[in-house]
Amino acid sequence: MLTAYQIVDNCLVAHQIGDDGVVPPQVAWIDLSQPTGAEQRAAEAYLGAGLPTREESQEIEFSSRFYSEDNAIFMTASLLSGVDKGEAHLNPFTLVVAAHGIATIRYDDFRALTQFLARATKATGGCTSPAAVFLGLIEAIVDRIADVIERISVVVDRVNRDIFIGEQPSRQRDRELAVIIGDIGVQGDIAAKARECLASLERLVQFAGLALPSSYTKGGHRARLKLIGRDIRSLEDHVAFLNNKINFLLDASLGLISVQQNEVIRILTVAATVFFPPTLIGTIYGMNFKWMPELGWPIGYPLAILVMLASAVAPFIYFRRRGWL
């Protein structure tokens, strides 16, 4: 789908493309979402440059993601999508800056673009030029990642409370820890992808500061670009802290599970130790030897029972005094 936007009174207004599919020069931004062949050709005619395919935008080397060609500058970042649906994944997002406008190429619905359009289509959108639209897009993307990181932080804090404050019965606690480990895994995956997204955005901002025309990097635009770079670095530091905390919580959860398993093994070991002496005594007196003096005793049977009880109680008392029970 191709959507064109024109700047009118400092805000974006959707521009209807004619039946001929030609994008007029007064359009400041065209957004390509899973474009068809005809839409891609129309965008290329507008930009005066060939657009990368989806396979080319997914390549990871720097030279394939950031380059200048046909008087246009191409920048590709990996953005998070599907976080609200619990299916976080990274998808390429390409920004193209040409002489008279910009274009975006995407293959998924990004929440950041929806949030940006909600602001940019109002009178206070601040979209005075293609450069302002470009910077607004980057800022919206960074804001969206910040929201995702804040959500991860909230979940991590809840998991931390569940691990170290929860006091449930042992069997219920085992089930809870299993669920907690699943939550930790999900948040760890989102945090890792958020970190990768921030790294690609940092490279994009650095390349933009060097390669974009002066109209994009001078005066107030330059200050906004520097501020975006600082925000990205601060978010990288925060997500690195969250990654460390997630790893700590995972180790703590596994440690608590090991402690509970050791507790079960300890109880079984104590029980086996307590019942071993009576079993030994019963085994001895269960042997059918002819010359066994205790067999002729009138009190032999009750005496054997008494000895077995004493041999079970003695280890139990010993374990209690040592604090093992």
Task: For residue range 225-272, list pLDDT tens digits in order.
Answer: 899 899 999 999 999 999 999 888 888 888 777 777 777 777 777 777
Rounded CA gap, 285 and 296, in Å?
A: 12
**Residues 233, 317 within the same domain:** no
Q: What is the domain-level CATH number for residue 309? A: 1.20.58.340
Stretch 49-67: mean pLDDT: 82
Average pLDDT over the chain, rounded to whole? 81
**Residues 199, 312 within the same domain:** no
**Residues 8, 45 within the same domain:** yes
**Residues 147, 296 within the same domain:** no
The torsion defined by the Cα of 203, 190, 163 and 250, in degrees rounded to 10, comes to: -70
DSSP code per residue over 40-72: HHHHHHHHTSPPPPHHHHT--SHHHHEEEETTE
Rounded CA gap, 159 and 164, in Å?
A: 9
pLDDT greater at residue 136 or residue 282 = 136
Rounded CA gap, 319 and 286, in Å?
A: 28
**Residues 81, 215 within the same domain:** yes
Local structure of 107: helix, strand or coil: coil
> Domain end: 232, 260, 288, which one?
260
pTM of the model: 0.77
**Residues 304, 165 within the same domain:** no
Task: For residue range 280-296, list pLDDT tens digits in order.
Answer: 777 766 666 566 676 66
Longest dimension (CA), the chain: 117
**Residues 74, 138 within the same domain:** yes
> Domain end: 236, 260, 284, which one?
260
Sheet with 2-8: strands ordered across: 11-15, 2-8, 29-33, 102-106, 89-97, 72-81, 66-69
Helix (H) or strand (E) run with residue 103 in it: strand 102-106
Please, which residues bridge with residue 180 across strands?
Answer: none
pLDDT greater at residue 116 or residue 300 = 116
**Residues 184, 205 within the same domain:** yes
**Residues 33, 114 within the same domain:** yes
> Domain end: 240, 260, 280, which one?
260
**Residues 188, 301 within the same domain:** no
Indicate the pairing of strand 29-33 with strand 102-106. Answer: parallel
Which positions ≥6 away from 198 have C-beta within 8 Å? 145, 232, 235, 236, 239
Structural domain range at position 22: 2-260
Which positions ≥6 away from 174 have C-beta within 8 Å? 257, 260
**Residues 163, 125 within the same domain:** yes
Domain count, the chain: 2
Residue type, 129: S
**Residues 181, 317 within the same domain:** no
Q: What is the domain-level CATH number for residue 40? A: 3.30.460.20
Stretch 2-28: mean pLDDT: 76
